[in-house]
Amino acid sequence: MNETESEGEGERANLFPLREIPTAPGIIGYVNVPINTSDVRAFKKEIGKLIDDPLGVSERLDEFLRTSIYSYEDLTAILRSLFNTEEREMIRQAEIREWERRNPQSTPGDQKWPSQDPRWNAQTEEGRRSMINMKNIIIQRIREAVPRGQNLSKVFRECQGKDETPTE
């Protein structure tokens, strides 16, 4: 699926978050366990709109993603299912701005938020940590993605009708 496809079109049949399983006595491995994309679509209906409630959207998404570790590919597919292109770009830009603000002498923000699958290895601690970090970064940046002016525009759209009292 490419960036220009609309939400839900071209969506993968399954998403495969990582789950811990014992592979031998005292050894834990990680396998991909499918989740149903209809769950993601149903979640999209209850999540709300990013522009209207970025804090609520981030909290609900955190609850939805909390139980598993997701690969780069799966996180990207989930974001494509839940958010339109403009919203995904707002989230990405919020991440880049924040990273560069906090780490001016470090890796550029667009490298911390890869545009292509970095092929993190789920069987290594470093790979899983990168996957968890990306998920956490997404949640944090959703909270900051919507410019304040767009949040306030909703307030100013509300007007008192000529027959309404101020308490209605």
pLDDT tens readout for residues 95-144: 888 888 888 888 777 776 778 899 998 889 899 888 898 898 889 888 88
Domains of the chain plus CATH, in order, are 14-153 (1.10.375.10)
Residue 146 amino acid letter? V
Residue 2 amino acid letter? N
Query: Half-sphere exposure of 105 toward its Cβ, with a 13 Å CA cutoff?
Result: 0
pLDDT tens readout for residues 23-38: 778 887 777 666 777 8
Q: Which residues contact 113 (CB under 8 A, 6 or more apart)?
A: 92, 95, 96, 99, 134, 137
- Distance from C-alpha of 163 to C-alpha of 50, rounded to nearest angstrom: 32
pTM of the model: 0.64
